[in-house]
Amino acid sequence: MKEFLGKTVSSGIAIGRILFFAKEKSVVTHKIITDCQAETDRFNEARECAKKQFDELKRKASAVVGDADARIFEAYEMILDDGMFVGGVADHINSEHVNAEYAVKLTGDELSLRFAQLEDEYFKARATDVKDIADRVISILCSEKCENSNKNFSDNDCICNSKNDGKCIDINEPVIVMAEELTPADTINMNTEKMLSIVTKQGSSLSHTAILARAMNIPALTGVDTDASSDGKLAIVDGNNGKLILEPNEETLKEYQLLLEQEAAYSRQMEELKNEEDITSDGKKIMLCANAGGIDDAIKALEYGASGIGLFRSEFIFLDKKDYPTEDEQYEIYKTVVCAMKGKPVVFRTLDIGADKKADYFNLEHEENPALGYRAIRICLDRTDVFKTQLRALYRASAYGKIAVMFPMIISLEEVLKIKAVCEEVKESLKNDGIDYGDVELGIMIETPAAVMISDILAKEVDFFSIGTNDLTQYTLAIDRQNTRLDKHYNPHHEALLRMIKLVIDNGHAGGCRVGICGELGADTTLTERFIQMGIDELSVSPSHLLPVRKAIRESISR
């Protein structure tokens, strides 16, 4: 028996045999070329092929982890269109007269190194993504299907068409997947139903593979110093304590088998709660809703008995596009979600773009501190054409079910009054066009200290508050939540934050509006009873957290 220490990126326990995944790399040959345009055309065709691959991977990932987490592949597509990547390859081809494969390798190495040298851990983790994208384009360029520069790639051609592109791995029995490094594409191309755990030597808790592991609810470790000699050996992954136990002795194996049985029993207990009410032990009803990024999340929310959608992230509709989505395009999506919820309410958050969520066609300027910059409602109130288009689509969809609309990053009464005026203009325009719409409640996100301190004033202007604890925590504590160097200072249980939440609840109720929490803290079951005793009306969490929070609600006392 041998123990290896690592860093937990997803908790839990797994017992099984190791499958060591050794990814083959394309061999890149340096060639001097004479026709730079032909090489550039080859690169652009391979780039389009890679985009189709990532689009297909996104579709597969949606079926496994839901729409929101599957959107990590959109970031890959954005890098493929990014000027630094495309321009860098073109520059190498034209200035050095090298073949496309070699130009992509040089550019990928340069950009990956640039990300790796950044201090911010989130952006540092993107170095792996850039390298993965470059490897995929190189693989396509090296494959027979891409040798002809006039080849039109079909969807079938573009999936798993090279020995090096992250090919589909057929896993026939449950295994612990171990690798030097594992990309999201590698992960989704495997039989995820047979994947017990992920263990890697390289990676971080902010990597996209870590995000997938958490979404799949499987234990995952990184920083584990092991190699291919572990292939086929029995192992235990202890994601709760950051340990890999290779070839455990009988006593250790029995100990962990018991823990695994207890986890399984807990999962069965959770399943039994699907159709139970969200009511405390002393009879107080709590609205338990789901956060969603697409139709798959909405369907899962219904399956788990959610009271509705407490946060639908509409910005993903914009991030999916190469240009501004039209009113009709948005309307069809909103209508589909509303109808899928079968009469249960849906709260749509208006466009929350900016900071770490970018769409090139918005032409947003670079900012030194984007989290405190030009984002969310600030953009919408400046670009009222975009704002009104979204609101018209939302109001039109309200004819088919219960819709509420909430607005992010509010800091002043003036913003709320401007928003309400725009809503009135939209309603009037729909009336003039003879288009039906229903009653739409209006609410705001409370995610800035400014909104907290004037929540008594704001409560008189809206129907509900939804506390966004993710941003509220970082703004209150003055800590970037994506900077792992500050993890020891990042305390979402900080008394200042909890007092702010209590103040918002009291002010909201005094002003006649209901109050909910839609940030990550809403899923923290160690705080569920405290929130209920503060007087919270609603908790909205990711679909995977609905059942544990329901259990916590049912075990809580409201006073």
Catalytic positions, written as ranges: 208, 518
Token pair of 230 as six digits: 């572990």
Radius of gyration of the chain (CA): 25
3-state SS string for 174-240: CEEEEECCCCHHHHHCECHHHEEEEEECCCCCCCHHHHHHHHHCCCEEECCCCCHHHCCCEEEEECC
Neighbours of 2 (CB within 10 A): 12
CA atoms within 13 A on the CB side of 436: 5
Give the CB-side neighbour count of residue 148, counting CA atoms within 13 A.
Answer: 5
Distance CA(305)–CA(80), nearest Å, equals: 40
In the block, tokens 């966004």 appear at: 468
Strand partners for 540? 289
Is residue 155 a contact partner of residue 130, using CB atoms and an 8 Å limit?
no
How many residues are given for the chain? 559
Residue pair 519/467 in contact (Cβ under 8 Å)? The answer is yes
Nearest partner of 219 among 260, 266, 164, judged by Cα: 260
Whole-Å CA distances, 352 to 119, 309, 328: 26, 17, 20
- How many Cβ atoms sit within 10 Å of the Cβ of residue 105? 22
SS3 label, residue 169: strand
DSSP state of 480: -
| Cα separation values, 505 from 452, 453, 528, 529, Å | 10, 12, 14, 15
Please list the alpha-helical segments (H only) found in 399-448. Answer: 413-432
Q: How far is CA 275 from CA 300, 551, 555, in A?
A: 13, 12, 16
Q: For the packed helices 72-81 and 208-216, what is the interaxial angle rounded to 10 degrees?
A: 160
Report the amino acid identity of residue 267.
S
Distance CA 319, CA 394 (A): 18
Which helix (H) or strand (E) covers residue 18, if one does? strand 13-21
* Structure tokens given for 33: 């070329």
Contact 531/501 with Cβ under 8 angstroms?
Answer: yes
Q: What φ, ψ does residue 433 adopt, rounded to 5°?
A: -85, 0
The helix (run of H) or strand (run of E) holding residue 502 is helix 495-510
Structure tokens at 99: 């073949």
